[in-house]
Amino acid sequence: MLGAFGTRRSTALYLAAWALLGVLLAGLMVAAGGAPWSASLPFAVPLALAYGCASGFSAYYLCRAYPLATRSLGTVLGVFTCSAVCAGALWAAAGNGFAESLRPLVPGLPPMTRPFVALMFGLGVILYGLTAVAHYLALEFERARSLERRELEMKIAAQEAELRMLRTQIDPHFLFNSLNSISALTSIDPAAARGMTLQLSNFLRRSLGMDAQRKVALDEEIVLVRAFLAIEQVRFGARLRFEHLIGEGAGQCLLPPMLLQPLVENAVKHGIGNRLDGGTVSIAAERAGALLRIRVENDADWDDASQPAAGCGIGLANVRQRLLATYAHAASVHWTRHDARFRVDIALPAESEPEKEK
């Protein structure tokens, strides 16, 4: 079924409206002809329901055949005027025939006088026109919803494509730096280079197995960060230290996969790697109401020209773009230097999987 009969709810509402019109028609018969309600209702209500179904289907298909966007107003008015007149005449004739067949079964049903037949004809024309207007409104509403849904689907598709692009940007960048580290170790410590290669293989197997579109828990992200730092620790040894403090409820909060990895990579490359005595990379996270706050810090030299400038660098730019694509303006990322430490602060909506909620 189409039009007003597209769903059970719309069908029920449509038929209820026409049943009410039948009751009003019965009231006119009682007021004008003095017919009792017991005779008027069995005549008027079924007749109104039958006309509602017939005019509903007819008007719906005509509205589809003559859309307002592509047809001239004169053509539409002409088609529906002729259709309304024909429908009104058929309804008046059907009413007259129905009354004659019903009269032996329903005592008190008055004869169909010419004024009443003319009244039925006029009501039929008006009701057909109102039905057509209602169908045009419904079709326009349906078209607007379809366009809105299509626009939303296109927006989601564009967002997913952007997230995939940003995710694929991380992997070559990390792999390039890791291979450089392995290359540097091959001439210094071949055994360490082999160990780093195996750890890199395990890390890539774990990271590539993560769905770029599925958010992961912060605890899972920390495990990945530890695996990355284990790779780098083959080269840096005791010079590279790692600390993390995850507040209650923060570990179960969800975030885009490998969001922290480029920040930790920058901390090692631009911070720890440029200090003779190394330093510490620390991650702190806490859930503050509806927000998850994450801080990534590392020791850094203030006079080191290799430190990333404001808003520059693949790591910071990638994190900012991924947060914008995923959360729009509900998330933020800021960086600063404080007490010989380079600090990145991230705030994003605190989301948790239902089964992990406490």
pLDDT tens string 9-18: 878 888 888 8
The whole-angstrom separation of Cα 187 and Cα 262 is: 27
Indicate the residue type of 336.
T
**pLDDT (mean) for 54-59:** 86
For the structural domain made of 189-356, what CATH number should be given?
3.30.565.10
User: Domain coordinates of the chain in residue numbers?
Assistant: 3-151, 189-356
What DSSP state is assigned to residue 310?
A: T
pTM: 0.54
Nearest of 150, 149, 179, 261 to residue 212 by alpha carbon: 261
CA distances from 291 to 122, 250, 253, 264 (A): 64, 10, 10, 22
Q: If you average pLDDT over each of 112-121, 193-202, 287-296, which comes out highest?
A: 287-296
User: What's the pLDDT band for 26 if we cut at 50, 70, 90?
Assistant: confident
Q: What is the dihedral of CA 148, 152, 158, 161, to 10 degrees?
A: -150
More confident call, 95 vs 204: 95
Q: Among 358, 338, 330, which Cα is nearest to 296's?
A: 338
Mean pLDDT of 266-273: 86
Query: Cα dist. 184→227, 234, 242, 254, 278 in Å?
Result: 20, 12, 22, 36, 18
Residue-level pLDDT at 309: 46
pLDDT at residue number 358: 41
128-168 residue pLDDT tens = 989 889 888 888 888 888 888 888 777 766 666 665 665 56
